[in-house]
Structure 1
């Protein structure tokens, strides 16, 4: 293990150093750190509202009522995460360039709003104006928010640095002076965002978000459900998470209908006592490939048991423990952080490869039964979920094996990360 750690430190740390100094990646990382308290708040309520067997305690109707009651805790925090990220990027980049950070944050936010559609079609087909659909400003709009906020903040600082400003006499109050000073740069940035909106409205895509989904969804849909396709999908999900984008939402929007069709086939066969036809189903991907527990639990075990001397990691582990048990891992993605962390990029990408390959072949050779198509909430803890969706204890055993393997892998990379932090602390103290 020491040799592995030394190898990673020798060849990965130099790349990590260069990676960590890129101002745009730093701005994205800062933006998600700013969003962290909001995502933790949302994650806690998400886990509570989807507790396994909650319906057995209070009934299905009460669960539905409770979920509707607490839904604003998600829709108005994680559901508007693109707002927070766009403002955070504007703030961070403005700080880097030494320009007004408050105006930079608002420019980033308003530029994103400028390119976001403000109409929605009702169930009856009626076009409703002067509204911003929540579907456009959550995780789905993240990529647009990042690009537009970076572009608009760059335009804002470019105008300031080239003195395209209105300067007031020194006798004018500072707040008034700053407002006039920033007017032209802000106007140019917002007009640029408006131009993007107008350009896309004149195309078949209509919005920038539609362009992204058109590029992503068609290739993903054509992938199918083979082993290579499932590996590619898993890697794409975690690759999006590496950049702070909700990979499950982006990729799942294309793949979930395909996976669910396979699940329905298996469920029908299971109910009729026939042979189950498909390995890759919605339950296979939910509980053996892409479950959040395969990230949260190995990382939590490492933080809480193997790095006890790191008080910051131990405290983060305590905060993320309750959501992590139920597969909600946003506090770790944004808090450790895993996002935009080149040292943790490798285990992040390897995780779905390991889970997919081992799970697929375990079922293909008959060690573990296929999933039956029985639907469970995605927050069902691992081991329990494995036994239920395969109707066999071997499903639970498979999940335990995966957790052991992944815990060892994540511990190795977290150890490298810890060693890097110790070296930086020693250099700063000298």
Structure 2
């Protein structure tokens, strides 16, 4: 709880939540493009409508870092009771100062020859998208915090009270914003003298890319899910805490995958596409067992919660069984999501099932259907059903222990009533 209440953790969480609507909105178009029905896919390819559906996806994925820096700067200034819009704009200016104005380009000349090379005065969309997210967070926090600090030290133009607030605010922002921009210009020139060339290249190479690689393999992604479920066993909302810790990394990977999907390329971070469908698959397996339980209370809970569990809403079982603070169910609850994700990742990598395309889907889509749509293949649907069966098998022996205790309690209660 103390970790989640830290000022800058709350700022980052609030910032990413504030721009979530853009990702959700673009995922609708991503969802439409990924419907695995052959006639629909043929129509998208022949009519060019598939390229049209990719436009909103590209817009969000290629400008995601811009949204992040504005949102973070806004939340920083708001947290210190300073004008949030000004904080957002100062942060955005700082980010653009550090953004490289060179990019690899491909040009077709009049003779039809393709020329590739590095061009100046051009901003790469990747710098404004997934590759720039960590730099955007840095600029959002540092840029807005410096702006707030200067206001706190009265480093500003003080206007008379007779001046309208909107005009006075403009003049008060001038000096702090200018000083922040100067500091970031010095930072840019300093990195230009290094082998990295730009701060964005430094941050991406040293920090962002290795961290994103944590989940870009079966083991790392499995541990990510298992850590969340382990925290649940102690009464802590583990999924929320792991998201607070690694949410920015997950967002960067998601945006990179969405950009690859829109471009028709293979996803660079396969395992990050599997976190959503396998987060709660174990609870679905347990709910299926509840439906066939000999215990009256368990059967009733199964009937009440099967609909929600199918759509990955697990609170009725988590709190009603309960899973939380239940040492008997700790082993299957922690192991199941990690094991099913790791097996699916390996199956995709060796070609048993089609790999995920990178399409962004809602987290309430049932796991088998999710895998069907994310792979655009019936193999995903079949594999998803097998993983649900596997979750039932893993939970079964532990469920029988709990069921035996529940039947004993029901028998004792019935005897007392008699």
TM-score normalised by L of structure 2: 0.61
Name the structure 2 match of 1:230: 218
Q: 1:67 aligns with which of 28, 37, 50?
A: 50
Structure 1 residues 80 and 351, CA gap change in structure 2 (3 angstroms): farther
Q: Give the equivalent residue in structure 1 for 2:200.
A: 209
Establish whether residue 290 from structure 1 lines up as the match of residue 240 from structure 2.
no
Q: 1:354 maps to which residue?
A: 339
Deviates more, 1:350-359 or 1:28-37: 350-359
Distance in 1, Cα, partners of 2:24 & 2:395: 23
Gap runs ≥5 in structure 2: 107-114, 226-238, 258-265, 287-300, 314-331, 397-418
Equivalent of 1:399 in 357, 380, 387: 387
Structure 2 match to 1:121? 104
**Aligned runs of 1:47-126 on 2, under 5 Å?**
47-53=31-37, 55-59=38-42, 62=45, 65-123=48-106, 124-126=115-117
Q: Which residue of 2 aligns with 1:24?
A: 8
For the residue of structure 2 that corresponds to 1:121, the secondary structure is strand
Q: Is the 8 A contact 1:369 1:392 kept in 2?
A: no
- Residues 1:190 and 2:181 aligned together: yes
Whether the 8 Å CA contact 2:222–2:338 is kept in 1: the answer is yes
State the partner residue of 1:35. Answer: 19
Alpha-carbon spacing, 1:213–1:61, altered in 2? closer, same or farther (3 Å): same
Residues in 2 aligned to 1:89 and 1:221: alpha-carbon distance in whole angstroms: 20
Cα deviation for residue 370 of structure 1 reads 6.3
Q: Which residue of structure 2 lines up, in the alignment, with residue 340 of structure 1?
A: none
Structure 1 residue 291, shift from structure 2 partner: 5.1
Query: 2-side partners of 1:50 and 1:392: how far apart?
Result: 13
Does 1:372 find its partner at 2:363?
A: no
Structure 2 equivalent of residue 339 of structure 1: none
Give the match for residue 248 of structure 2. Answer: 245
C-alpha contact (below 8 Å) 2:134/2:208 kept by paired residues: no
SS in 1 for 2:119: strand
Larger Rg: 2
How far did residue 162 of structure 1 move?
Answer: 0.8
Contiguous gaps of at least 5 residues in structure 1? 1-15, 255-280, 326-346, 409-430
Contact 2:97–2:184 (CA under 8 A) maintained in structure 1: yes
TM-score, normalised relative to structure 1: 0.59
CA distance in 2, matches of 1:101, 1:222: 34
Determine the C-alpha separation between the residues in 2 that align with 1:27 and 1:396.
36
| Aligned CA distance change for structure 1 residues 89 and 296 (closer, same or farther; 3 Å) | farther
- Provide Cα deviations, 1:263-315, integer angstroms capped at 9, x if missing partner: xxxxxxxxxxxxxxxxxx9999669x83532237789999xxx9xx9xxxx9x
Matched length:
320
SS in 2 for 1:125: strand
Query: Does the CA-based 8 Å contact 1:155-1:189 persist in structure 2?
Result: yes
Q: How far 1:397 sits from its partner (Å)?
A: 4.3
Equivalent residue, structure 1, for 2:125: 134
TM-superposed CA distance for 1:89, in Å, is 1.4
Residues 118 and 283 (structure 1 numbering): CA distance in 2 closer, same or farther, change over 3 Å?
Answer: closer
In the alignment, the residues of structure 2 paired with residue 27 and residue 293 of structure 1 have an alpha-carbon distance, to the nearest angstrom, of 27
Distance of 2:334 and 2:384 partners within structure 1 = 23
The structural deviation recorded for 1:88 is: 1.4
Greater Cα shift, 33-42 or 213-222: 213-222
Tell me: CA distance 1:393–1:42, structure 2 relative to 1, closer, same or farther (3 Å).
closer
Q: Secondary structure at the match of 2:157?
A: coil
CA distance in 2, matches of 1:348, 1:161: 49
Q: CA 1:236/1:181 → structure 2, altered by over 3 Å: closer, same or farther?
A: same
Residue by residue over 1:146-178, the C-alpha shift from the partner in whole angstroms, topping out at 9 and shown as x without a partner, is 112101111111111111111122232322221
In structure 1, what is the Cα distance between the partners aligned to 2:32 and 2:376?
Answer: 21
**Structure-1 separation of matches of 2:245 and 2:395:** 19
- Cα distance in 1 between the residues matched to 2:123 and 2:137: 18
Which SS does the other structure have where 2:3 is aligned? helix
Matched, 1:150 2:157: no
